[in-house]
Every structure is written in structure tokens, then in C-alpha cells.
Amino acid sequence: MTVGLPPITTQHNRSRGGSNSSSPTYDNVLVGVRCRPLFPESDKTHELAWQLNPLQQSIQLANNNSNSRRYPTSHVNLQTEYHYDRVYYESSNEQVYQDMVLPLIQQTMDGYNATVFTYGQTASGKTHTMMGTDLEPGIIPQAVNEVFNCIKQSKNNEFLLRVSYLEIYNETIRDLLAPENDNLKIYEDPHRGTYVGQATEKVVTNPHEVMDTILCGETNRHISTTDYNLHSSRSHTLFQMVIESRQSGNTPLYKSHSPRAKASVKISQLNLIDLAGSEKAASNQDRRKEGAYINKSLLTLGTVIAKLTEPGKSAGHVPYRDSKLTRLLQSSLSGSARVVVICTISPTIFTVDESINTLKFASRVKKIVLRAKNEPIADDKTLLQQYKSEIDELKKKLQVANDGRAQEQQNNETMLSHERQQVTHTMAPPQPIST
């Protein structure tokens, strides 16, 4: 348990370019490693292969004799101690969320793009960490709640939220909110970076609506029983929340067309990604095919990260386009977002090789330097701006219609008064009735 530790100190404020809050801040990817508990029934052992030191935030192979005899020694330095921002064993989803993700959500509300993903071999606890259960909600439900908490507490800003939910299955991007859209394309935009076109975006107003949307999407997600996991994710999923915010003033903003007013919109993306896990060949043919796609995209992710963190030279060509996953993560990994990675490992000696690969990935990803910005943007494409413009347009139309109606009424009244005058002139004055 990692109780009573000081907060994680990131170097977010290491701004190289002035004190302006919208200038980029330089920091590294925040990395946590989480070892799931032993399940002696399915893990077929009572021995934990790893020794975690929460005070040092380090992890290394446990050096008890019964274990160490069985470690693969060919490429493993048994003494290696790996260090991260956080290591977790027997920790709750809430604790992982509070340490690693909560501060990020608060920055997202302030206009920074943020990406969180879980990485690790199959059955190591990625989905448990990201989605969790009713009793132990994971990162996604907790993050959604926090976004709405922040909105509730914000006195001076107005917000507009929209969500989408996608999966990458066998290298095709599917819209989990509209499964008939099963081959979506990736585009690039100077503000949004890489994004999926034509994905369903649902405007949401409360956490229940978001969670209902996710649950609805979950029913369309590819999950199957494999040799390793009863509910194995067969696809990578991306839950995305786009947050637009602007200061609310006394003057209704739709009245203003000034670039300054337009420029006050901040737009940020929160990407919460549950990756499928690497696995050895499965016995079922479909699972094997899925596994091959999963392994290939994770391999590309590893290559991209290795390229980005090669010591001593600039990255050169980075093969983002070699997989849908890396293409989607391109903006985040190339530095325009704050990034948190939670790497999950299984606790047993039988999976030590895979765990070491995960730990090496975690060490490499930690070296990526990010330059996230939270600049307000002047863009008619923001929904807030569009809605304001639409309201403005409707107001104008209403005004024109009202003016027309007033004119018509005035014309009618003038005509009526003319007619009345004519009738008065042509009619004989009424005679008193005499008996």
C-alpha cells in the first residue's frame, strides 16, 4: 500500500518561454506500474514474483530462492531495480486515480489536452484499472465525475462537453456508439491534431448520461474469453471527451463577433484508452488472428516510443503511420498533451518475461518530453462558437421576421383606416327610428 506518500512532483511548471499561462510547459510522461493481486486458483502459485518498494517507488524481482531458480536468466539482470513515479500493489482503483489522474483532469478543465492509457500483457488488470467495477470504479467513471464536479464549482466559465467512444479492432476503427460506422478514417488538423472523422459525438450534460453512453458502447465492444482471460479485450478502446470552455460575462457572448471574444474559447481533449494486451498465441483461430493484430500494433507502439526516446539525436522519421493506434496517439506522444501511462503486470513467476518487457516499456515511455499548451483558440469550428453563432443567426432571423410582421400589421392598420374613412363618406348618416 502506498499510504501517506507525498504528492507526485512533476515538472509541469518548467515553462521555457515566458510566464504566460498559455506558453508550453515541459514535462515527462507520468508513469505508474501496478502489479495485480495474486489469484492462487488461476495463477497456480502463492508466490509473488516481484518485490515492490512504495517508498522508493521501485520494483524488482523478489530474490527468494524458490522463485529465483525458475527465472529466465538469459536476458534478465536479476538485480535490476526499476523506478517510476508510482508503484502499486494491493492498491485500490481510487488510490491509483487520485495519485495519477486527478491532477490531470483538473489541467484538462483548464484547456490542456490529456491522454491516459493502460499498457500490459493480457489479464494483468488494464480494463480493471481503466473501467473497474460497480464496487470499485476505475479511472473512466472517476474522471467523468471529476469533470462535472469541476464544472459545478466553476463560477465564471461556461462549458460544452461531447463524448465519443471508439475501438480499434483488427486494424479498423469502429464507432462503438454507431456500430454501422465500422471503418472510420484518421485525419489531421492544426488544432485537434490527429482525430477520427465521422465519429459520433454526443453532447452530454451530466455524469449519468456519459456512463449510459459508455455502457451502450460497451455492448458493441469486442470482448471474448481467451486462454488467459475470461473477459479479454480484443480491441483497443478510446473514450474521448472534448471540453470547450469560455469565460461567461454579463454581455451575452453571441452578440460579439470580435476576434477577441472568439479567441476566448479553450478546447481540450481528454483521451482515456484501454489497450488490448499482448499475448502468446491463442488456441482459437479467431483469437489468434486478433492477437496477431494486437501484438503488431503494440510492437509499433514500442518502436515509436523507442524512436522518440533514442538518446542523443532528434527522432527523425517516427513510424506513427504503421498502426492505427500509433497514428491516433501521434499528437499525444509527439508532445501536445499531458500523458499518464499505467503499466500493469501480473504477479506470477510464469509471466516474468512479459512483465520485464512491460517494465522496459514503462521506463522508455517515461523519457518522452511533452510540451502541452492551453492556448485559447479563435475557431468557428468550436461547438460553443457554432452554437453562439447559430443563436445569433436565429435571433437575427427572428428580428427580421418580427420587423416584417410589425410592418405588415402597420400596413393592414393603414389600409383598414382608409377603408373605414371611405365607408363613412359613402354611407348616409343613420336616421333615428320614428314610430
> Which residues are known binding-site members?
120-127
CB of 145 to ligand ATP, least distance (A): 20
Amino acid 43 reads: D
- Which of ligand ATP, Mg ion, none interacts with 125 (beta carbon under 5 to 8 A by kind)? ligand ATP
CA nearest to 87, candidates 55, 115, 47: 55
Task: Say whether residue 233 binds Mg ion (CB under 5 A).
Answer: yes
**8 Å CB contact between 221 and 263:** no
Max CA pair span of the chain: 135
DSSP secondary structure code for residue 336 in this structure: I
C-beta of 231 vs 405, nearer to ligand ATP: 231
CB of 230 to Mg ion, least distance (A): 11
CB of 101 to Mg ion, least distance (A): 18
C-beta of 96 vs 261, nearer to Mg ion: 96
Report the distance separating Cα 116 and Cα 275, nearest Å. 11
CB of 315 to ligand ATP, least distance (A): 28
Residues facing residue 15 across a β-bridge: 25
Q: Which of 121, 127, 164, 213 binds Mg ion (CB under 5 A)?
A: 127
* Residues in Cβ contact with 273 at an 8 Å cutoff, skipping those fewer than 6 apart: 115, 116, 117, 118, 130, 236, 237, 238, 239, 329
Report the distance separating Cα 210 and Cα 87, nearest Å. 30
The binding site for ATP consists of 120-127
Under the rule (CB under 6 A), what is the footprint of ligand ATP? 36-37, 120, 122-128, 229, 231-233, 276-277, 344
- Which of ligand ATP, Mg ion, none interacts with 344 (beta carbon under 5 to 8 A by kind)? ligand ATP
C-beta of 21 vs 42, nearer to ligand ATP: 42
DSSP secondary structure code for residue 170 in this structure: T
CB of 3 to ligand ATP, least distance (A): 16
Distances, alpha carbon 408 to alpha carbons 185, 254, 395, 398, 418, in Å: 52, 29, 20, 15, 15
C-beta of 224 vs 309, nearer to Mg ion: 224
- Which of ligand ATP, Mg ion, none interacts with 132 (beta carbon under 5 to 8 A by kind)? none
- Which of ligand ATP, Mg ion, none interacts with 231 (beta carbon under 5 to 8 A by kind)? ligand ATP
Binding site for Mg ion (CB under 5 A): 126-127, 233
